[in-house]
Amino acid sequence: MPAAAAPAPRLTFTAVSGLAASPGALLRWATASEAGTARFVVERSADGVVFEAIGAVAAAGTSRASHAYRFDDVAAPAAYYYRLRQENRDGTVVYSAAVAITPASRFAVR
C-alpha cells in the first residue's frame, strides 16, 4: 500500500539539481527549513512513472536553518529520472518534483 502524501509539505526545497557524471549522477538539494523530517529517500526511474528507492540520506530533523544534501548514484548507466521522498517522523511523506538527468546534462529546478 503506497504511503499517503502529507497534507501540508514540511519541507521547502530551495533547489533540486543534478549533474550527469562519469560514471553515474550527482544529486544535490537544499532545504530552507525542516520540521520533524526523518530522512530523504532518493528514488530513480527509467520512464519517469515507476520509481524505486536507491538510497537514503539522514535529515537534519527539525531546524530553521538551511541544510545542503547530496547523493551520488554511481550505478546510473544512462538517462534517468530522480525524485526525493521526504519521510517525516509522524509517518507522512512528501515527494519532490521529478527531474531528468541525461548524459552530460545539467539542470536546476527552483
Residue 105's pLDDT is 56
Residue 14 pLDDT: 41
Per-residue pLDDT of the chain (110 residues; tens, 9 = 90+): 455 544 334 454 444 455 555 567 788 888 888 889 999 999 999 899 999 999 999 999 888 888 889 888 877 767 788 899 999 999 999 898 888 887 655 444 43
What would the DSSP string read from start to end of 62-109?
SBSS-EEEEEEETT--S-EEEEEEEEETTS-EEEPPPEEE-TT-EEEE
Fold for the domain defined by 11-109: Immunoglobulin-like (2.60.40)
Closest CA to 57 of 84, 76, 21, 96: 84
